[in-house]
Chains A and B, each alone.
Chain A
């Protein structure tokens, strides 16, 4: 078996350093199954002890990658060693959407939470601002950002579905960055705009960025 201490957290979880939070979560779930007892991919290849060892590394790697600060620390190490996939990163960054301004979209007050405790509200807005800033820094405007904001606002998928009249399946597809089965872009753009509005985000600047990501992920059709 490979020397586990030689692997960085991304290698441990088999994800790309540019992986989204949703991808890391999925990779973690799969790794838990893979190195759990009796999985067909690992039975007979590793001893019980080795499996346990891998599992504990998997947990550790996941905790690191879920913590933006610790993840950033690792990214820095990888960059210094020249192991961060620079070229591809630049490629992804190339076509920045023209949104008229370079400032990241700001959260707007949410109508749905008018009665909520102002202190709590400010806290949540602050979290949303952080999320947007992090997305700006990574240039990663995927649908999963909408899920993160929704969770900060402690809204359920049903809440969004009710307010936007968009089917839950579509909402989930957008949030999980699985765009394959969504209707054509022009509809999706409407969805994203509506979701952003309901979440109290600046839809005018956010929607084009997310759409850009979706178009790129879906490729030419």
Chain B
């Protein structure tokens, strides 16, 4: 559809602090949706240790994996891309066979560079759960972080923890000054909730002693783009949870995130996983499929869910 010689137009990471929230479902179906619109799409299973994206797409034994990409010190992803049965959609499978300690810093750097050059329109990274450093690095590698929540206290609690870590790493990576790093560490890891300063305020205080670093970090903060997606919506009130979380993030962190969409709970999702087929292909007219299409559209157009959604 477009000239992809310059590298992808968008790299989206799909993550979420808690397991079982539907990251893989959303990543794979968004990718199919983009491919159906005529974009060349690469799905990367970056769930280190819990890879199963290939299964969701009905591929039994992936030929190449991200593990091999890391192990063989490759710098080009194109040799690891596999066709998927959906036109325009390619897959780099996960790291089933990779040593448990996970990828190293230089592996990450190679992946980051490879993603910039890969010959597709969009890359979607399916990230594992938790907020370990590797997960965080992968999430932050993308230009856009799609964060999946479900309307449950545990998921939301993890969201704030994840965001805090993600913000911390975003800023810490932006400077080499030890004094600034330790100041950030102190600012982020406070004991009492009322002592936590919103991030813009942290940077304002930093600018008194380190004006230049503060400016650089502010730029890093602006590149930190998060889109909330609410999965497993069963009731009308559930949709509101996304607005609540967005509001709380703004008032607590001083950070603006978008609420890009929600996905209705659908029994057929489970059917799809069991039969190793994608939702968008098996049940294109299902409610959940429509939700994913709307979500993809909003991500492309940078729109948000409006208050008059129902």
Contact = CB atoms under 8 A, between A and B. Distances in A.
A19 B307 contact: yes
A40 interface: yes
Contacts of B152: 40
Contacts of A112: none
Nearest to B149: A41
A125 interface: no
Contacts of A44: 157, 160, 193
A58 to B, nearest CB: 10
Contacts of A30: 240, 243-244, 247, 307
Contact of B244 (A1, A20, A26, A34): A34
Contact of B153 (A20, A23, A40): A40
A19 B243 CA distance: 15
A177 B153 CA distance: 31
A157 interface: no
Contacts of B240: 30, 33
Given A15-B307, A26-B307, A41 B201 contact: no
A41 B307 contact: no
Interface string B215-245: 0000000000000000000000000110111
Residue among A1, A20, A27, A41 having the largest count of chain B Cβ atoms under 10 Å: A41
B251 A2 contact: yes
Contacts of B251: 1-2, 4, 46, 54
B198 interface: yes
A180 B241 CA distance: 21
B258 to A, nearest CB: 11
Contacts of A45: 160, 193, 248, 252
Contact of A23 (B193, B196, B254, B308): B308
Interface string B244-276: 111110111010000000000000000000000
A161 interface: no
Given A1-B194, A45-B252, A14 B308 contact: no
A34 B243 contact: yes
Nearest to B309: A178
Nearest to B241: A41
A116 B104 CA distance: 80
Interface in B84-139: none
B308 A1 contact: no
Interface residues of A, number: 32
B16 to A, nearest CB: 15
Contacts of B142: none
A41 B247 contact: yes
Contacts of B245: 41
A204 B16 CA distance: 51
A3 to B, nearest CB: 7
A110 to B, nearest CB: 27
B86 to A, nearest CB: 24
A39 B308 CA distance: 22
A146 to B, nearest CB: 14
Contacts of B248: 34, 41-42, 45-46
Given A30-B240, A46-B252, A177 B193 contact: no
B306 interface: yes
A55 B160 CA distance: 21
Contacts of A39: 244
B308 A2 contact: no
Interface string B293-310: 000000000000011111
Contacts of B196: 1
A41 B243 CA distance: 9
A152 interface: no
B156 interface: yes
Nearest to A39: B244
B252 A1 contact: yes
Nearest to A142: B308
A14 B241 contact: no
Nearest to A43: B153
A14 B194 contact: no
A190 to B, nearest CB: 22
Contact of A2 (B153, B246, B254): B254
A63 interface: no
A175 B216 CA distance: 47
6 contacts: A1-B194, A3-B201, A22-B308, A30-B240, A34-B247, A34-B248
Given A1-B251, A50-B194, A178-B309, 4 more contacts: A1-B196, A26-B307, A30-B240, A44-B160
Interface of B: 151-153, 156-157, 160, 193-194, 196, 198, 201, 240-241, 243-248, 250-252, 254, 306-310
Interchain residue pairs A-B with the least CB separation, the first 7: A41-B244, A34-B244, A23-B307, A40-B153, A26-B307, A177-B308, A2-B198
